[in-house]
Amino acid sequence: MRITLMLSAATLALIVPSIGLAQRNAMSEPAKVDPAVAKARDAALDDQVAWDIVEDLTTEVGQRLAATEAEARARAWAVIRLKKLGFQNVHIETYKMPVWVRGAETAEIVGPYPQKLVVTALGRSAATPAEGITAPVVYFPTLGDLMAAPDGSLKGKIAFISNQMEATQDGSGYGAYGGARFIGPNIAAKKGAVATVIRSIGSDKGRWPHTGGTNWAPGVTPIPAGALSVADAEQLERIFARTDKVTMKLVLTPRTLPDAESGNVVAEVPGTDPKAGTILIGGHLDSWDLATGAIDDGAGVAITTAAAKRLLDGPRPRRTIRVVWFGAEEPGGFGGAAYAKAHAGEKFAMASESDFGADNVWRFNTNLPDSAKAVGDRLAAALAPLGIVRGKDVAGGGTDVGPVLATGVPAVTLAQSGQRYFDWHHTPEDTLDKIDPKQLRQNVAAWTTVLSIVANAPEEFGPVTPNTSE
């Protein structure tokens, strides 16, 4: 790709005559790369700051469940680290939220083939009695099969929803298969089920279950809802291949505690032009409780902070860069929502988050106003040597910055490869060893490139039509 970009469009038309018009137009001569940007980008490939942040955070704090004392410890830790790194205006912005904590969780086939299965409660799951629920299991190969079940047909039964998520580079498998978790238990509850177990929304085949939030519609009484590991879901499918009379005992005793404090940690690289609008970037500080949250999302705060640190240590940028370590993303984006509310009306020139692990960035998208179209061209030219291609989608979305973007703030998104992410997402395997230091550095270089261009762009970034589909 790098070589291709060095060729002129005319040369390409000669040597690749089979390429259609649209493609050839897309291969127009790239924008010039500012030598200072290139230098900052290339220097970031030796970054050590991101690794140090994610190693230290995951080692010295560990898991950081939202609105618990662990997340509070993480915020205190973050303030010390961000100040030590030299950021300005380091502070915490708090908010209150409900707290969901895990209890006991066991599952076993009572008959016909007695055996234990590995299960974990989904976020916002209701609790079984301490002694558990024992009930017949009804098998639904897909969410669609559950949706087709007659109302009331699940009365007194445990619904088992199985569908195997596939890994994709762009992470689209999560949306395609995740419905079993997002809305499956709610549908089962409406049809009378006493509990739901799903095949974990994961691309692995292992025995750790994947947690994650599930959602209850207004008026629906929540039921206990758990995820079996993919291996255990396959075991249950093998049992259903032999008999449709399966009885399961399920113990899930999570609790919802009184509202407690969570918070966002904020740090800034001051800009020279307060009127040019702030660049808002970050990831989320909280994690699920099963692991140390290295890829979800220690990596995200580490990458964005390390990139901002590179601008902090260079010439003062035109625009202020604000790094936010959002709180309470996992249980439903409380930090992002609180942030957007608290900063309504503030001028943001661009917002973007990193929350998809630490593997290489492979594509970027933008949502920039017409007045700043050239910025996209400069990004494309400067990111290409990192192996990053320009996407055709309108940038948007993200649980943390999504609420800010929804107000018409321009966006640049850096898409990381999702091929491995869902092997470990929301499981006890989300630990430091899953981060490839080289790919982490590529991320820092990509973010450094984006910040160097966007924070210093002379163009004005007016409001845009937000893409709310992502």
The residues with which 108 forms a beta bridge, in sequence order, are 116, 249
Q: Which of 105, 329, 353, 429 is catalytic?
A: 329
428 makes contact with a copy of itself (CB under 8 A): yes
61/306 with CB nearer a copy of itself: 61
235 makes contact with a copy of itself (CB under 8 A): yes
Least distance (Å) from a copy of itself to the CB of residue 193?
A: 25
Rounded to whole angstroms, how far apart are CA atoms 276 and 270? Answer: 12
Which of 39, 83, 91, 116 is close enough to bind a copy of itself by CB under 8 A? 116
Which of 60, 244, 259, 460 is close enough to bind a copy of itself by CB under 8 A? 60
364/424 with CB nearer a copy of itself: 424
Contact between 447 and 414 (Cβ < 8 Å):
yes
Which of 120, 163, 200, 292 is close enough to bind a copy of itself by CB under 8 A? 292
Q: What does the block give as tokens for 457? A: 């762009």
Rounded to whole angstroms, how far apart are CA atoms 314 and 92? Answer: 25
The residues with which 282 forms a beta bridge, in sequence order, are 324, 353
Q: What angle is formed at CA 465 by the lines to CA 462 and CA 470, rounded to 5 degrees?
A: 125
Is 329 in the active site?
yes
47/429 with CB nearer a copy of itself: 429
211 makes contact with a copy of itself (CB under 8 A): no
Tell the residue number behind the tokens 């004392």, with chain if given. Answer: 69
Which of 11, 23, 28, 59 is close enough to bind a copy of itself by CB under 8 A? 59
Nearest alpha-carbon partner for 403 in 336, 313, 354: 336
429 makes contact with a copy of itself (CB under 8 A): yes
61 makes contact with a copy of itself (CB under 8 A): yes
Q: How many C-beta atoms surround the C-beta of residue 212 within 10 A?
A: 23
Question: Could you tell me which stretch among 12-20, 33-41, 234-242, 384-392 binds a copy of itself (CB under 8 A)?
Answer: 234-242
86/111 with CB nearer a copy of itself: 111
Q: How many C-beta atoms surround the C-beta of residue 406 within 10 A?
A: 14
Rounded to whole angstroms, how far apart are CA atoms 327 and 95? Answer: 9
Rounded to whole angstroms, how far apart are CA atoms 229 and 259? Answer: 31
Size, binding site for a copy of itself by CB under 8 A = 30
Rounded to whole angstroms, how far apart are CA atoms 2 and 308? Answer: 26
Window 125 to 164, contacts with a copy of itself (CB under 8 A)? none
Q: Which residues bind a copy of itself (CB under 8 A)?
A: 55, 59-63, 70, 109, 113-116, 118, 205-208, 231, 234-235, 238-239, 242, 291-292, 428-429, 431-433
Q: Kindly list the catalytic residues.
A: 329
